Amino acid sequence: MDQPPAESAPGEPEQQALFGWPDTAQEPDPRPSFRDSPAARRMLDVREVYAEPAALDSPRGRQIMARFPAARVTEVAGHWRIPSLHGNEGNIAQWVRIKSGTLVLGVKQTLRTRPNGRSADWIAPGPSNGCAMACAYCYVPRRKGYANPITLFTNIEAIVAHVRRHVRAQGPKTEPNQCDPRAWVYDIGENGDCSVDALVCDNTADLIAAFRGLPTAKASFATKFVNPDLLALDPQGRTRVRFSLMPPDDARLLDIRTSPVAERIAAAADFLDAGYEVHFNLSPVVLRPGWQRDWAALLTHLDDVLPDRVKDQAAAEIIMLTHNRSLHEVNLGWHPRAEEVLWQPDAQETKRSQNGALNVRYAQEIKRQALTRMRQLLAAHAPWLRVRYAF
């Protein structure tokens, strides 16, 4: 596969559009913004900002700070390791409070698109790291320590320019695969949730607008948060939203501060009608007493409530739980009940993940049997839901 061209040097003009591809502009939407609503403020009411000086001085940084003018700002040398935040063991007890009231602003230094081949063809450099939600199994905080609020990257122009160049370097997709039959698929939200990021700034809108002008590619991101503002972004079929689903009882225990599962399902038709491709992540599948019964009920609900136009284009990813010892120890400090189902040493084994991290997963035979059973449940209760990827 061709490597992406080198980044433009500072001051050089942006590469001209190839093949006559337009860089389309979005019409302003007259409706009130959800990001200014009380519901949005309950999710994210920023009172503390840690920021690199260059991030504060950028146009995106100024846009963000204009939304939170009363927030206390602490300048930091780098966004990744902030001793008073990530390195403070006392923050475990404030895990959720920090997520709702703290924001980190940084400049993404390394812009690299790497191959994936599972959920997406490529993993793009993401516009964020961390999240205001608090899913107990999330892989993102495993290397951070004792706090994991949103880190937003303010050099979005560089991120968008990098992705455009990479897409154009690939040319048309000539062979279908599990990611997509025709388009190169780029995951733009690997380490965050783009729906929540859109409560703070226009990073998500900028990426969706960029892919609107890239006819050989699609953006893709998974989300557990229903943000109506995304309905106004006019993706024109070039962005795939993957609503993450699990049985509601699991979500109430594990998906802390997320939109209810029923709300995510109900949003699918609205997002399809707004121009998105809508898929589902059945993720993570957590093995515990009654799991098969509850997944059967969820799939039956999908079959009952989703209109045919959603079913006709839908596909699913099935992702079994992967966990991590250091995250397990952090969770014991703020949400030990979650670990009663997440941490199961008798059923789990050590694994080296694709990104090099040492994690734990269900033992190979247990996982194989569970994936087989999930496919059987789909065939019985939602036979229209094609499995695009199972892991």
Q: What is the mean pLDDT of the chain?
A: 92
Tell me how far apart the 2 most distant CA atoms of the chain are, in Å.
60
**Bridge-based pairing state of the strands 315-320 and 277-285:** parallel
CA dist 89 and 83 (Å) reads 10
With H, G, I as helix, E, B as strand and everything else as coil, classify residue 372.
Answer: helix
- CB under 8 Å to 251, separation ≥6 — which residues? 258, 260, 261
- What is the Cα gyration radius of the chain? 20
Lookup result for tokens 């920090």: 98
Q: What is the pLDDT of residue 2?
A: 37
**Which band of pLDDT confidence, cut at 50, 70 and 90, is reported for residue 31?**
low
Mean of pLDDT values over 109-127:
96
| Alpha carbon separation from 164 to 12, 212, 346 (Å, rounded) | 16, 11, 47
CB crowding 252-290: b at 16 or more within 10 Å, else e: ebbbbbbbebeebbebbeebbebbbbbbbbbbbbbbeee
Helix (H) or strand (E) holding 170: helix 156-170
**Which band of pLDDT confidence, cut at 50, 70 and 90, is reported for residue 358?**
confident
- CB under 8 Å to 211, separation ≥6 — which residues? 186, 217, 218, 219, 235, 238, 239
Higher pLDDT, 13 or 79: 79
Exposed / middle / buried, residue 132 (Cβ in 10 Å: 0-12, 13-18, 19+) = buried
Percent of the chain with pLDDT over 70: 91
Structure tokens at 132: 């205001």
Q: What are 212-260's pLDDT values in tens digits?
A: 999 999 999 999 999 999 999 999 999 999 999 999 999 999 999 999 9
Q: What is the pLDDT of residue 257?
A: 97
Nearest to 349 by CA among 341, 358, 357, 340: 358
Nearest to 51 by CA among 82, 74, 81: 74
Nearest to 117 by CA among 215, 272, 239, 1: 1
Contact predicate 244/317, CB 8 Å: no
